[in-house]
């Protein structure tokens, strides 16, 4: 389970890096466009890697993509948010 949370942190960092690259390459991406890009990259990465926070917490869902979508939303917030969230969940 610890590896799953490490994966969340790595994915969150990747989202931050990818969105920074997108914003550098396409200067008009800012404000809500930046948030939308972050969500899209987060959901794409979570889905492509089949990484789900609920699955890591052993919460079973009948529709796995819901977990990937929610995880993508969470990792789109960035690594600091993930670290704070894991601290609140008291997971190391």
The Cβ of residue 15 has, within 10 Å, a number of other Cβ atoms equal to: 27
Write down the domain spans for the chain. 2-89
Nearest residue to 12 via CA among 85, 64, 67: 85
Q: What are phi and psi of 77, to 5 degrees?
A: -75, -20
- List per-residue pLDDT tens for the chain, 92 residues long: 568 778 888 899 999 899 889 999 998 988 888 889 999 999 999 999 999 989 888 898 999 999 999 999 999 988 777 767 767 776 55
Nearest residue to 1 via CA among 40, 55, 60: 55
Predicted TM-score of the model (pTM): 0.81
The tokens for 45 are 């990465």
């Amino acid at each position: 389970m610890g590896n799953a949370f490490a994966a969340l942190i790595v994915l969150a960092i990747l989202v931050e890096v990818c969105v920074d690259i997108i914003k550098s390459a396409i200067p008009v991406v800012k404000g809500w466009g930046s948030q939308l890009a972050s969500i899209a990259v987060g959901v794409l990465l979570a889905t492509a890697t089949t990484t789900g926070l609920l699955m890591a917490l052993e919460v079973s869902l009948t529709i796995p993509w819901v977990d990937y979508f929610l995880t993508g939303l969470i990792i789109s917030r960035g690594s600091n948010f993930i670290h704070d969230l894991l601290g609140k969940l008291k997971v190391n």
